[in-house]
Amino acid sequence: MRYATSPKPKIAIVGGGFSGAAVAARLLRSTKYDVEMIESRPRVGPGLAYGDAQPYHILNVPAGRMSFWTERPRHFLEWAKRNGPELGWPEAAMAEAHSYLPRELYGFYVAEQLERTDREVSEYHGRRLLHRRATAMTLDHDRDVFRLALDNGESVRAEAVIIATGHGRPTRSWQVTGRGAAYVEYPWSKEATAHLNSVAPVLIIGTGLTMVDTVLRLKREGHCGHITAISRHGLMPRRRGDSEACVLELGVREASFGVRCLFEAAREAISRNRGDWQAVVDGLRPISEHLWSALSLTEKRRWLRHVQPIWNVHRHRMPEESAETIAALIAEDRLEVSACFVEEIEMSGMEARVRLRPRGTTRSRTHTFGRVINCTPGRSDLASMGSPLLADMEKKGLARANALRCGLDCDESGALLDALGRRLSGAFALGPMRRGLLFEASAVPDICCQADDLAQVVAAFLSSDDRQPKERDVHAIGLAR
């Protein structure tokens, strides 16, 4: 990976996590342009999701569905069996498609795919992947050229820009006062468990898969105190089983009747499958985008408000190993999961006083914890995501939130729409930035499909003689091996 700069990079990618890496690798394969990734972290590819994982954190998706290359669905599995033992995971040699492998190992895999692609296109075609270690602050667009100003005083010029910044900051609707180290905003940081008394009570805000990973980390690091996990609904990810996805006959007709009709159709399908809800949930995946696009804006809002929390815990499930650990901690009364709202957090040294209000009540109570860890999903509203670039783009009218206010507004190809709903020529979005427009925008298989399509769109845009997507020769230089 080169850190040298180019006087005129052609394609700039803002964000160096999985989304950015996926589209960067495909652009290097399918275009004649250099690619410059703007990422403040020292390494591009793994990102927050896989770069900061501990060795004992495992993926929540089986290895057979985690390939970096859509045309080679078993690629990660085959790579892990060959390379896992040398990297410190001897059990990877015996992995199968249904195995759950370490998240850190997957981070090594993603980084290697990007680095190998970079080496080979550089050797055969002279194209380069450049890493600009900085944070993008502002964006200006003058005719056919974009200019990104960085926090280190430098700037990047590009003919196309892709926003692939991933999830925003964790959600926070409560006030934090006082001073101390008891409240941690980022669950993957060292501070999340640093200097924590092994018997101190811990509060985890959020009850999704990040909560599961945090509980596993606490247990692994010797914490034996009580853990309280809360969220608005108090719902926890379900245990993943071995069901095979069933074929569902749902389409525009059912979606046109709204969320209630879809919900009832899913319940009927579960009944027909003898109660196997996992087969139905997995069967919805291939048709979910089709159904989502057929829903009206009002029905999409209804889904997000009433159904999304239920869907999430059934769709994003825990591996068996994680589920057994969580169940044992609950049985031992070391972990409690409940529906509560956080009203205020007051820090005082190594403790935090938290005012909690149980769901369905109007009275709140104050509790004291030795550590409070925010494991809520990333913010989706542009104004609160914590990105100076997105705030600048919205202020200048270069971008706007989509109608559901859970991501950037784009057309079907991923091209950004400005404040007036016009296509911003040469600017695109990928991954979680397209939430709301796409139903599934953050899972690895879905991001890889997005990256495949977007690479063709960008290549067509940059072509001087043909603006239509061209057929890609993905095996032209033998990269998928």
Report all structural domains of the chain as residue ranges with CATH numbers, in order of start. Answer: 11-169+380-462 (3.50.50.60), 175-238+318-374 (3.50.50.60), 252-315 (no CATH)
**What is the pLDDT, as a whole number, of residue 254?**
76
- Cα–Cα nearest to 156, from 184, 182, 173, 135: 135
Strand partners, 435: 438
Residues 452, 469: Cα–Cα separation, whole Å: 11
Residues 6+ apart with CB under 8 A from 35: 9, 10, 11, 13, 24, 27, 28, 127, 128, 129, 130
**What is the pLDDT, as a whole number, of residue 183?**
95
Residues 29, 33: Cα–Cα separation, whole Å: 10
| Residue in the structure block whose two tokens are 């996990």 | 229
Measure the N-to-C terminal CA separation of the chain; round to a whole number of Å.
Answer: 20
| Secondary structure (DSSP) of 182-219 | SEES-TTSGGGTTT--TTS-EEEE--SHHHHHHHHHHH
Q: Give the pair of three-digit tokens for residue 256.
A: 């046109």
Structural contact between residues 336 and 229, judged by C-beta atoms closer than 8 angstroms: yes
Q: Give the pair of three-digit tokens for residue 437.
A: 């427009």
DSSP strand pairing (136-142 vs 145-150): antiparallel
Strand partners, 347: 178, 352
Residues 6+ apart with CB under 8 A from 208: 231, 236, 237, 312, 313, 316, 375, 377
**What is the pLDDT, as a whole number, of residue 133?**
96
Strand partners, 156: 148
Q: What is the mean pLDDT of each run of 10 residues along the chain (481 residues)?
A: 52 96 96 93 91 86 96 97 96 95 96 95 83 97 93 95 86 87 91 94 97 95 97 95 82 79 89 92 90 93 93 93 96 98 94 96 96 87 80 95 92 96 96 92 93 96 57 34 31
- Structural element, H or E, at residue 424: strand 423-429
- Longest Cα separation, the chain: 68
- Cα–Cα nearest to 142, from 157, 154, 162, 164: 157
- Cα–Cα nearest to 33, from 119, 126, 123: 126
Structural contact between residues 323 and 243, judged by C-beta atoms closer than 8 angstroms: no
**What is the pLDDT, as a whole number, of residue 467?**
40
**What is the pLDDT, as a whole number, of residue 1?**
53
